[in-house]
Amino acid sequence: MALKGLRVIEIAGLAPVPFCGMLFADFGATVIRVDKTRNLLTTDKLGRGKQSIAVNMKHPEGRLIVQKLASKADVLLDPFRPGVLEKLKLGPADLMTDNPRLIYGRISGFGQTGPISLDAGHDINYLSLSGVLSRFGKKDEPPFPVNLIADFAGGGLACAFGILMALFERQTSGKGQVVDSSMTEGAAYVGSFFFKTRELPFFNNPTGENLLDGGSHFYNTYKTKDGKYMAVGAIERQFYEKFIQGMGLEGTEVHENQFSDWVQHKETVGNRFLTKTQKEWTEIFEGTDACVTPILELDEAPYHHQNANRQSFSQNPYTEYWEPEPAPKLSRTPGKANLSRPDPEIGENTVEILSAIGYNGAAIKDLIEKEIVEATALRKILI
Active site residues: 122, 151
First to last CA, the chain: 38
Nearest C-alpha neighbor of 33 from the set 56, 52, 13, 6: 52
Asked if 230 and 279 count as a contact pair (C-beta separation under 8 A), the reply is no
Asked if 203 and 197 count as a contact pair (C-beta separation under 8 A), the reply is yes
Task: State whether residue 104 is helix, strand or coil.
Answer: strand
Asked if 337 and 327 count as a contact pair (C-beta separation under 8 A), the reply is no
Burial class (CB in 10 A: 0-12, 13-18, 19+), 84: middle
Task: State whether residue 154 is helix, strand or coil.
Answer: helix
> For residue 326, is the peptide bond before it cis, meaning its omega torsion is within 30 degrees of 0?
no
What DSSP string runs through 51-101?
EEEEE-TTSHHHHHHHHHHHHT-SEEEE-SPTTHHHHTT-SHHHHHHH-TT
Task: State whether residue 378 is helix, strand or coil.
Answer: helix
| C-alpha span between 374 and 39 (Å, rounded) | 10
| C-alpha span between 120 and 286 (Å, rounded) | 46
| C-alpha span between 262 and 248 (Å, rounded) | 18
Radius of gyration of the chain, Cα coordinates, nearest whole angstrom: 25
Read off φ and ψ for residue 8, nearest 5 degrees: -125, 130
Question: In this structure, which amino acid lies at residue 109?
Answer: G
